[in-house]
């Protein structure tokens, strides 16, 4: 089959929305993240907390997928998952990860790299209890990343759990489910600029705990 994809090479846009310099950003990268994240929320972007999570196996084979940021502070950036999923297993084998936020409407991208740790059971339980009951049931019903014969298998699991927990407000925290926190050592704020001469301001964690701020070439 012959496919003409030459049009793809001509898909491009010029970015004129804003600028970014080392003088503009906060000295604390978490406060700078807070500023950009709240601007994404205020712009009514669809799921501004959606982020690409990149992990790697023990042998170095990378994989990536979209997850949702559910908490952040100066400790790091948190998402929740099944520990037995592919990403869960990879993070246990190789506790390093990268995150990417793309806020295209604001012509912004944000990259985070760092080590990974599990959040406490108390944190995971508090978040799990805040989820709708249907989402709690799905966490139990789906053997995440495993091969299933068909969707009917999952639907039968859901029906059985709905019957088991009928009349209950919620389900208990599964032993196989919880949160991971990416503890950053590198954070980059990317602002699109005209003719591909983008602004890239990077924070690199230093040995004394401070952050070094530098401009990177686009």
What are the residue numbers of the active site?
196
**CB contact at 8 A, 181 and 187:** no
Residue for token pair 């991208």: 109
Alpha helices in the chain (DSSP H): 29-42, 86-93, 121-130, 133-141, 151-164
DSSP secondary structure code for residue 159 in this structure: H
DSSP secondary structure code for residue 173 in this structure: P
- The span from the CA of 176 to the CA of 173, in Å, is 9
Strands (DSSP E) found in the chain: 50-56, 62-68, 71-73, 76-82, 96-103, 108-118, 177-191, 199-205, 211-216
């Amino acid at each position: 089959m012959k496919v003409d994809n030459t049009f793809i090479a001509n898909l491009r846009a010029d970015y004129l929305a804003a600028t970014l310099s080392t003088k503009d950003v906060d000295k604390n990268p978490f406060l700078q993240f807070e500023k950009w994240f709240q601007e994404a929320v205020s712009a009514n972007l669809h799921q501004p907390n959606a982020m690409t999570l990149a992990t790697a196996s023990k042998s170095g084979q990378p994989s990536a997928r979209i997850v949702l940021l559910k908490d952040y502070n100066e400790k790091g950036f948190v998402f929740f998952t099944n520990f037995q999923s592919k990403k869960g297993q990879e993070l246990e084998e190789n506790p390093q990860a990268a995150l990417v936020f793309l806020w295209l409407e604001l012509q912004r991208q944000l990259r985070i790299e760092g080590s990974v740790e599990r959040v406490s059971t108390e944190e995971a339980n508090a978040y799990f209890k805040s989820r709708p009951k249907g989402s709690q049931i799905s966490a139990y019903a789906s053997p995440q990343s495993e091969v299933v014969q068909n969707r009917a298998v999952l639907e039968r699991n859901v029906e059985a759990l709905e019957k088991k927990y009928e009349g209950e407000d919620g389900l208990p925290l599964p032993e196989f489910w919880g949160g991971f926190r990416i503890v950053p050592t590198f954070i980059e704020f990317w602002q699109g600029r005209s003719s591909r001469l983008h602004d890239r301001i990077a924070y690199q964690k230093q040995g004394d705990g401070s952050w070094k701020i530098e401009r990177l070439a686009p």
